[in-house]
Structure 1
Amino acid sequence: MAGLIITVAQQKGGSGKTTMSAHLATALAYSGMSVAILDCDPQGSLGEWFEAREQALGEDETGLTFRTASGWGARREARNLAGSHDAVVIDTPPKTDTEARPAIEAATLVVVPVQPSPMDVWACGSTIALAGKERTPALLVLNRVPPRAAITEEMADALSEIDAPLAKTRIGNRVGFAGAMKQGLVIMDTDRSGKGAKEMEALRAEVMKEARAV
C-alpha cells in the first residue's frame, strides 16, 4: 500500500511553507513513520535545511529521505517515494498553478498555511480552488499566529467561508521555529517540552486524521 502524500502549498510567499514542511515531516518521522521530503521550490530552502541537518546530526541520522523535483516531475517523484515510505511531504513554490498543480494532483491531502492577515486569506483561495479542481482534500492551518491578537479571530471567521476545513491547531509566531531551522533542526529538537513542539505534535495528529479519512 502506498504511503500518504502531504503537499504543503500556498500561493502567497512568506507564509511559512518550508518551516511547516520540515516540522511536519520530522514530526511524522518522530512518530515512527518512514518519511521522505520532496523539495519542489526552486529556491531550495528545504534542501538547504536538510543539508544543515545532515551536518548537525550525521548523514544517516536525519530520520528523513530527501529528493528534489520540478514541474510535472514532482508527481512522478512523489508517487515513487510513496511506494517506499509511509509518508511524503512536499514543499511547493509560491508561484503559478502550473508549478503547484502536479504536487497537488499527487497529494492525499494539501496543507495550506495561512498567516492571520487579509492578504494571506485572500491568497489561499486560489490554492483551495486548485485543490478542488484536482479533487484533492485540503486543510487550512493558521500559522505564525501572534499572541492575543484580535485579528486572528477575524481571519479565522473569514477562513470559515472558504470551502475547506480549518485545523483546530494553531501554530504560534515563535522565534524558536526559525532558530531551530537555522541549525538544521526543528523545534522538537531544541525545545521538546515547549509550546511550539506541542503545537506541531497536535498538527501532526490532525493532519494524519484528515489524510486517513480520505
Structure 2
Amino acid sequence: MAARIITVAQQKGGAGKTTLAAQLAVTWARRKNSVAIVDIDPQRSLAAWHAWRAAHYPDGVALHLSDVAGWRLGTELDRLRHRFDIVIVDTPPHAETDARAAVRAGDMLLLPIQPSPMDLWATQPTVHMAETENTAALIVMNRMPPRGKLPDILLERLLEEGLPIAHTKMGNRVAYAASMMEGKGVVEYQPSSTAAREIGALATEVLATLKGREKRR
C-alpha cells in the first residue's frame, strides 16, 4: 500500500509546525509504522532535530529524513511513496509555491493554529489552498492555555467559518519542547504524561480521518 502523505502547513510562522511534525512522526513510528519526514523549510528545523536525535538518542525508533528543496518534492515523494507507511512533509511559511506543491501531493493537510488573531487570519487562505487542491484539511488547535476565554473564542470563530477542526486539542506544555531538546518525542520522553496522551490521541484521530475519507471515495 502506498504511503499516506501528511503535509503540515500554516502561512504564519511560529505556529508549531515542526514540533507537530516531529511529535507525530515519533508517535506513529512507536506504533510500528515506517515513517519518513521531509523537510522543505529553508530553516531546516526538522532536519536539525533529526540530526540531534541521531547523535544523542540513537536508540530511538527509526525515522527516515529527506532534506530537500521544495522544487524536488514531487520526485522525492515518488521515491518514498512505496517505501514507507507514512510520510510527513514540513513546509515553510510564506512560501506559496512550495507549500502549494506539498498540499497538492498530500492526502491530508494538518494546519496548527495558536490562540491568536494573527493565526486565525492566516488560516483561511491555507484551508482554501487545500480545497483548491482537493486535499483533506484538519485544523489542530495548538498550544492552548489551560484556562481563559481565548481558546473558546477561537473555536467559535473557526466553527462560524465552517472550518474542519480536530477534536484533539494540544496544550501549551513544556514537555513538547523539552522532549525535542533531547532529540525525542514526548511519547519517549514522558510516556505517561498528559502531553503524550494528547499527541497519541491526535495521531489516532488523523489516521482515522484519513481512513474515513478513503472509504467515502
* TM-score category of the 2 structures, normalised to the smaller one: over 0.9
Query: Is 1:186 matched up with 2:185?
Result: yes
SS at match of 2:15: coil
Corresponding residue number in structure 1 for 2:97:
98
SS at match of 1:141: strand
Query: Is 1:7 matched up with 2:7?
Result: yes
* 2:30–2:61 contact (8 Å) kept in structure 1: no
One-letter amino acid of the structure 2 residue matched with residue 12 of structure 1: K
Deviation at 1:159, TM superposition (A): 1.1
SS at match of 1:116: coil
* 2:29–2:61 contact (8 Å) kept in structure 1: no
Q: Deviations over 1:31-57 (max 9, x none)?
A: 111000000100000001001110122
Corresponding residue number in structure 2 for 1:213:
212
Output the CA distance in 1 between the equivalents of 2:174 and 2:49.
16
* 1:109–1:210 contact (8 Å) kept in structure 2: no
Change in CA separation of 1:151 and 1:30 when aligned onto 2, cut-off 3 Å = same
One-letter amino acid of the structure 1 residue matched with residue 26 of structure 2: T
* 1:53–1:62 contact (8 Å) kept in structure 2: no
* 1:144–1:174 contact (8 Å) kept in structure 2: yes
* 1:131–1:138 contact (8 Å) kept in structure 2: yes
Output the CA distance in 2 between the equivalents of 1:178 and 1:57.
16
SS at match of 1:95: coil
Change in CA separation of 1:107 and 1:49 when aligned onto 2, cut-off 3 Å = same
Percent identity for Structure 1 against Structure 2: 42
Corresponding residue number in structure 1 for 2:52:
52
Deviation at 1:62, TM superposition (A): 4.1
Q: Deviations over 1:41-92 (max 9, x none)?
A: 000000010011101222x744211101222311221232121100001100
Deviation at 1:187, TM superposition (A): 1.1
* 1:5–1:109 contact (8 Å) kept in structure 2: yes
Output the CA distance in 1 between the equivalents of 2:31 and 2:52.
22
Output the CA distance in 2 between the equivalents of 1:79 and 1:209.
24
Gaps of 5+ in 2: none
Q: Which runs of 4+ in 1 moved over 6 A?
A: none
SS at match of 2:89: strand
* 1:79–1:106 contact (8 Å) kept in structure 2: no
Gaps of 5+ in 1: none
* 1:75–1:105 contact (8 Å) kept in structure 2: no
One-letter amino acid of the structure 1 residue matched with residue 120 of structure 2: V
One-letter amino acid of the structure 1 residue matched with residue 212 of structure 2: A
Corresponding residue number in structure 1 for 2:64:
65
SS at match of 1:111: strand
Output the CA distance in 1 between the equivalents of 2:158 and 2:21.
21
Deviation at 1:12, TM superposition (A): 0.3
Corresponding residue number in structure 2 for 1:132:
131
SS at match of 1:51: helix
Output the CA distance in 2 between the equivalents of 1:180 and 1:102.
30
Structure 2 matches for 1:1-214, cutoff 5 A?
1-58=1-58, 61-214=60-213
Output the CA distance in 2 between the equivalents of 1:79 and 1:42.
21
| Cα RMSD for the two superposed structures | 1.2
Deviation at 1:202, TM superposition (A): 0.2
Task: Name the TM-score, length of structure 2 as normaliser.
Answer: 0.94
